[in-house]
């Protein structure tokens, strides 16, 4: 569970077994989410944020979620990279993979540094 600032509002994103099942029913898991992001397809990412917000705010709609994301991206201090990593880490943590996910991200960052 992690809090995120969208414009002037703070919302908590939490993934539960139910949200993981809902995403899985849509064909979204950590692997497909990462693949879609590499192709610059944000659709599954937006749906993932929506499911994470719905856990503690069941009345929120997808349209409201998209409006919150627009507010987030309007703030020049925010970056999609940070949001994506935080959301994916929360998703992985809910599946019991948080530590493994952090290690994998660190490993990938070290590999990119070597390439430069």
Domain count of the fold of the chain: 1
Instruction: Give yes or no for a contact between 15 and 101, defined as CB atoms under 8 angstroms apart.
Output: no
* Measured distance CA(87)–CA(12) in Å, rounded: 11
Pairing of strands 9-13, 2-6: antiparallel
What is the rounded average pLDDT of the residues 89-113? 81
Q: Give 2's strand partners.
A: 13
The stretch 53-62 carries a mean pLDDT of: 96
Containing structural domain, residue 41: 2-115
Say if CB 30 and CB 105 are below 8 A apart.
no
Mean pLDDT of 51-74: 95
From 30, 26, 5, select the one nearest 94 (Cα to Cα). 30
pLDDT at 99 over 90: no
Q: Please state the pTM of the whole predicted model.
A: 0.86
Confidence of residue 16 (pLDDT cuts 50, 70, 90): very high
3-class SS of residue 12: strand
């Amino acid at each position: 569970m992690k809090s995120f600032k969208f414009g002037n509002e703070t919302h908590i994103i939490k993934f539960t077994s139910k949200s993981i099942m809902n995403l899985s029913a849509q064909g979204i898991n950590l692997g497909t989410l990462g693949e879609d992001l590499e192709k610059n397809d944000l659709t599954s990412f937006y749906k993932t944020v929506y499911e994470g917000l719905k856990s503690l705010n069941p009345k929120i709609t997808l349209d409201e979620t998209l409006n919150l994301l627009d507010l987030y991206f309007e703030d020049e201090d925010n970056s999609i990279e940070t949001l994506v990593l935080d959301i994916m880490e929360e998703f992985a943590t809910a599946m019991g993979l948080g530590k493994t996910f952090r290690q994998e991200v660190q490993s990938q960052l070290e590999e990119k540094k070597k390439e430069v």
